[in-house]
Structure 1
């Protein structure tokens, strides 16, 4: 066993945490789906709700890498539509998170993700003119609330927001830059609720999270290298495929 701050961990637990940090770094620089894999891995070490609090500062640190690299590509017109609804979803998630267990949570997440995939396909068929898609006020509201809710309850809003950003036909770099800014703002907004309402972030957990910073940076560099090799057209299908895989993963 290894003692680190107030934690007693096995060597496998420590390697799991470092692997999660690398995956989160990759997810913030465009490798969508890596973050979805990280969530159940960390839950295996700490349990559902506690792992959510432990993971949040890692996400906040990783968001900085994503924003620094892709900040100039953000589509702010979409961000301003999403932020108020995401805040509402975060408040809802804070309340609901006190009343659902891990199994119910996984089922809810899978339903939301599959429904989002269906919605995106419907929009693809209904509107060929990509300029008209963002005019759906209810789409930004629905995805914003769903994004805030799923992010607060389990740090799993990546697929929800990916489907919204795909639906408005953002190119690869704009997709990554917009997502980077969205999650940096949302994750820092969530911190007080984890600290003062759920009590899932402590001084020791935060100091432990800081130790993972080199692994996060390594993951961010790996993510940038991978995304550079994926052509624009293939990236869209890469995102869709990883989203569906993540939804199935929630059911396991």
Structure 2
């Protein structure tokens, strides 16, 4: 066993923590959905709510890598529509976090994502063009994204489905998602610190030792995505979204 910043970890759990950091780095630079595998791993080690706070600084560090590489590709029109409702969703999620069982919440969101995924698959098969860009749709997805990102950092699939439905090119999709999650994850920090008390100096120090693995994962994600054509990339994101939904239900 190892004593690190008030945490008592085995070599096995420390290795899992580094694997989580690597997955988060890959997810933020394009391999969306893979970070969902990190959620149950951290929850087993640290518990549900505590793991969400521990993961948040790692997500922000990975967001910075993604924004640095893809910052020129963001579509700010979609971001402006998403930010206000996503911020409201974070407030709702903070309130719900003290009332709703995490497992039940993941089950409900998994069902919603399966339904959304079925719609996306139908659109792909039917060769539909861009869906109508209604403001109510952006508000709905932004609110759901804000709630799910606060409870368990589960908004990746919601945002993947929304941005894919807008038919964004690969790099524009990644850049838009990168800026969205950097902004919303920074917005979440005070609520984790002062309301849920899931982030402190000890957890931040533990996050920092995972930084090299986040950086390696970010590099691996960039290299991986660079060699995937847009059409195959869309199907990769859909597949990872489906697997992530299964993990939430389980």
Distance 2:236 2:157 in 1: 12
Number of equivalences? 250
TM-score, structure 2 normalization: 0.96
Distance 2:91 2:124 in 1: 31
1:211 aligns with 2:209: yes
Aligned to 2:72: 72
Aligned to 2:228: 230
Aligned to 1:91: 91
Distance 1:91 1:134 in 2: 28
Distance 1:127 1:91 in 2: 37
Judge conservation of contact 1:86–1:147 (CA < 8 Å) in 2.
Answer: yes
**Secondary structure of the corresponding residue to residue 3 of structure 1:** strand
TM-score, structure 1 normalization: 0.95
Distance 1:23 1:99 in 2: 30
Aligned to 2:248: 250
Aligned to 1:160: 158
Judge conservation of contact 2:102–2:151 (CA < 8 Å) in 1.
Answer: no
Aligned to 1:173: 171
Q: How far is the alpha carbon of 1:230 from its aligned partner?
A: 1.1
Query: Which segments of structure 1 move beyond 3 Å, counting only runs of 4 or more?
Result: 118-129
Pick closer, same or farther for the CA change 1:124–1:143 going to 2, 3 Å. Answer: farther
- Greater CA deviation, 220-229 or 113-122? 113-122
1:43 aligns with 2:43: yes
**Secondary structure of the corresponding residue to residue 8 of structure 1:** strand
**Secondary structure of the corresponding residue to residue 159 of structure 1:** helix
What value does the CA root-mean-square deviation take over the aligned residues? 1.5
For structure 2, which runs of at least 5 residues remain unmatched after alignment? none
Deviations 1:72-122 (A, max 9, x none): 000000000000010011000000011122321221221221132234356
Judge conservation of contact 2:24–2:214 (CA < 8 Å) in 1.
Answer: yes
Distance 2:51 2:225 in 1: 28
Distance 2:184 2:247 in 1: 24
Judge conservation of contact 1:120–1:164 (CA < 8 Å) in 2.
Answer: no
For structure 1, which runs of at least 5 residues remain unmatched after alignment? none
